[in-house]
Amino acid sequence: MKNNNSLIEHKLLLHKKYKHLIEQAYNFKQIDASLSDFSEYKAIKLLNKLNKLKYLDRNN
């Protein structure tokens, strides 16, 4: 049960970071395109991690 709760907490934390990075990328679009691209790249990497966690959680 504890592992399941920690998995859920970890997914929530990653989702929160993902939203922050996407918002940051949007805000940087007008200021600096390279910062926007870098923030978007990190967000995509986090989204891939989230998708892997969702897949693993689905199998339980």
pLDDT in tens, the chain (60 residues): 567 788 888 889 999 999 999 999 999 999 999 999 999 999 999 999 999 888 877 765
How far apart CA 30 and CA 33 sit, in angstroms, is: 7
Supply the pLDDT for residue 1: 52
Residue 12 backbone dihedrals phi, psi, to 5 degrees: -65, -40
pLDDT of res. 55: 85
pLDDT at 59: 64
Range of the domain at 45: 2-58
- For the chain, the domain total comes to 1
Give the pLDDT score at 57.
Answer: 77
pLDDT at 4: 73
